[in-house]
Amino acid sequence: MKRWPRVLTSKLIKDPLVHFLVVGAALFAIGAMREEPAIPDRIVVTAEQVAQARAAAAALQGREPTAEELAALVEPTVRDEVMYREALALGLDVNDDEVRRRLIEKMSYLTQDLADPEPSSEEALRQFYEASPNLFTIPALVSFDQVFFSPGARGDSLEADAAAGLAALRAGRAPAEVGDRTPLRESYDDAPREQVAVLFGEELAGALFAAEPGEWTGPFRSDFGLHAVRLRSRSDARLPPYEEIAARVAEEYGAQRRREANERAYQEMRARYEVVIEQPDTD
């Protein structure tokens, strides 16, 4: 394991800023775990918090902090609480989209993964695998080469040049000697149909997944221009045996159980409210 240089460690230990950061973090963590309701005009730094601050400072400095040092370490926590309460008193949390968003995020975080699933049985995992083949099926994949003919470079001769280029490729000319520079890759390995369709269009994707390997075909039009393509290999869709993907099945099953638990928690919270959805005037 990589270690910090001793000189750097010594400097960090002696740096007062490090003391404030470390001890402040300890106080914040302890304060976050307190559950006592706050009294509006009273701020309490508990004996537990002070003891933790003293212990953290002593560990860093190698000695007990003085009363002044301890007070200085505690003061940022007091300051934060003062500023927080004053902000609430001024209503700064009301109608503030940023505060609202942060609170929603925090509540969402607190309700996530409420039920961390216990280890699942082999039987449950196999049943999930058999009931959810769509989650684990590897789609049909193609590996292919493409040569691009650019509308910008070819102009009105684009289609004629593409047809001549395709003939040259079939006659054995190297792709680099035929096409134009392309914003896309010249070769693709194990590409699913969806990826091919997004990049090159449905026409090319359909032809490629029906083509015989080894022959140049086309030209096909995409949003970029015209393409000649050569299929190198194609694999059919397949569902791997359970034993081959057991770890992934367990991961997916656990994720589904967590989603279900989180949704149940949300529905329980939602049931506490009367939800009224007013309809706009249709006049």
**pLDDT tens digits, the chain, 283 residues: what are they?**
443 334 333 433 344 444 444 445 454 444 443 445 555 678 888 888 888 888 888 888 888 888 888 888 888 888 888 888 777 777 777 777 888 888 888 877 777 765 555 677 888 999 999 999 999 999 999 999 998 888 888 788 888 888 888 888 888 888 888 888 887 888 899 999 989 998 888 889 988 888 889 889 888 988 888 898 999 999 989 999 999 999 999 989 988 888 888 888 888 878 887 777 667 777 6
| pLDDT recorded at residue 11 | 38
Q: Which domains does the chain have, with CATH numbers?
A: 6-111 (no CATH), 138-235 (3.10.50.40)
Each residue's pLDDT tens digit, 3-21: 333 433 343 334 444 444 4
Burial 193-221 (b: 16+ CB within 10 A, else e): beebbebbbeebbebbbebeeeebbbbbb
| pTM assigned to the model | 0.53
E strands, the chain, in order: 141-149, 187-192, 216-221, 226-235
User: Which residues does 230 contact at the CB level (< 8 Å), separation at least 6?
Assistant: 144, 145, 146, 169, 214, 215, 216, 217
Q: Which residues on neighbouring strands pair with residue 216, listed in sequence order?
A: 230
Q: Which letter does DSSP use for residue 35 in this model?
A: -
- Say how many Å lie between the first and final Cα of the chain, rounded: 72
Contact 185, 143 (CB under 8 A): no
- In whole angstroms, give the CA distance from residue 262 to residue 269: 11
